[in-house]
Amino acid sequence: MNALPQASDGAAQNRRVNIQDVAREAGVSVSAVSKVLRDAYGVSPAMRTKVTAAIDSLGYRPHAGARGMRGRSYTLGMVTRELSSPLQAEIAGAFGLALDGTSYQGILIATDINMGSQRRAIEALLDRQVDGLMLIAPWMPHEAIDVFARRTPLVAIARTGEPDSYDTICDDGRTGSRLMVDHLAELGHTRIAHITAGSGGFVAPHVLSHVARREAYESRMRELGLTPHVVTATFDEKGGYEAAQQLLDADEPPSAIYAGADIAALGVLRAAKERGLSVPDELTVTGFDNAFISSVTGVELTTIDQSALEAGTVAARLLLERLNGRTEAVHHLTEARLVVRRTSGPPPT
């Protein structure tokens, strides 16, 4: 015992404390400890106190890998595309926050907007035995999501349609676009253009929410007797910039550009500035999302608010419900709200 430092029981030095150690310390069986950990049926109050005391005194923490092998891993996975997309980061943050106080932990993998890499991220999460999946604006057809949803509880954000194998949370793009078109029309605009992103070839009704935004823009424009004008771009600063160039180079350039996402609107602002067009006096620019960045002094973008906090929180709740046994799908629509800031005004006369 004193001859060799790591003889006999000295092996305990670096070992992680496991459920057996707890059982020994508490003087009960391993199964009993497991029961209180999962708070399963059939534990007396006395047992519970004994075991929790042992857990605390030993500083025991369950091994997620081992748990995942038989039961749950108590891990929920999120997939977003690039984190630089501000709204997605906000949703992920809210999701994580909503999990505080539960026994679940959220982990996140960021991908780029590419079906292959999103699929790989999901597989990676599944390899890590997550108990549930939250996908933000997943860039894949309904059928592909469906396959994953059959394996594990899943909630998709920013998808329309009402799939029955998974839950969805979607902004109310129809109302949002109507509010925005009405706002611009009331200001006196008639040439209102819209920037959208590609559909990805996904078929209705299971599409990404920006498609609903575009459709509602088109129909509201027609209702008001105006001609819709849509241009497609990638939803990032550069995409918005290029789309704006294209729009402003036209014979009859729009007096208002409504971008389907705030991030694209930032690119529109850059194009306007480069051309010496003052916003909103000579060009009105609006977005959708009300990401943090839109509120920053100097940007102050008129946009449609969709609460990232709400989306993340509800997503967490829906997943927990599924883990507790719910099987019918739930579809949640978040409210759209017009936020008027600096970048919208009447058209030049």
Partner DNA sequence: CTTCTCGTGTAGAACGTTGCACAAAAACTG
Partner DNA sequence: CAGTTTTTGTGCAACGTTCTACACGAGAAG
Residues that bind DNA (CB under 7 A): 15-16, 18-20, 28-32, 34-35, 37-38, 40-44, 46-47, 60-63, 66-67, 69-72
Residues 285-344 interacting with a second copy (rule: CB under 8 A): 292-293, 296-300
- Decide whether 71 or 96 has the Cβ nearer to DNA: 71
Which 8-state DSSP code applies to residue 130?
Answer: -
8 A C-beta contact, residue 180 and residue 196: no
Q: What whole-number distance in Å separates Cα of residue 236 and Cα of residue 112?
A: 12
Residues 261-280 interacting with a second copy (rule: CB under 8 A): 266, 269-270, 272-273
88 Cβ contact partners less than 8 Å away, ≥ 6 residues apart: 80, 81, 82, 136, 137
- Decide whether 208 or 266 has the Cβ nearer to a second copy: 266
CB of residue 295 vs a second copy: minimum separation in angstroms? 8
116 binds a second copy (CB under 8 A): no
CB of residue 93 vs a second copy: minimum separation in angstroms? 5
Length of the chain as a residue count? 349
CB of residue 132 vs DNA: minimum separation in angstroms? 15
Q: What whole-number distance in Å separates Cα of residue 254 and Cα of residue 272?
A: 12
Token digits of residue 56: 């605390």
8 A C-beta contact, residue 182 and residue 348: no
- Decide whether 70 or 186 has the Cβ nearer to DNA: 70
Q: What whole-number distance in Å separates Cα of residue 199 and Cα of residue 208?
A: 7
- Decide whether 48 or 270 has the Cβ nearer to a second copy: 270
Residue from the set 23, 54, 76, 92 that interacts with a second copy by CB under 8 A: 92
Within 211-346, strands assigned E span 229-232, 256-259, 284-286, 303-305, 331-334, 337-339
86 binds a second copy (CB under 8 A): yes
Selection from DNA, a second copy, none that 143 binds (CB < 5 to 8 A by kind) is none
Q: What whole-number distance in Å separates Cα of residue 13 and Cα of residue 38?
A: 28
- Lay out the site mask for a second copy across 226-245 (x = CB under 8 A, - = otherwise): -----------x--------
8 A C-beta contact, residue 212 and residue 174: yes
Q: Which pairing describes strands 303-305 and 337-339: parallel, antiparallel, or unpaired? A: antiparallel
CB of residue 19 vs DNA: minimum separation in angstroms? 3
Residues that bind a second copy (CB under 8 A): 61-69, 73, 75, 82-84, 86, 89-90, 92-93, 96, 105-111, 123-124, 126-129, 237, 266, 269-270, 272-273, 292-293, 296-300
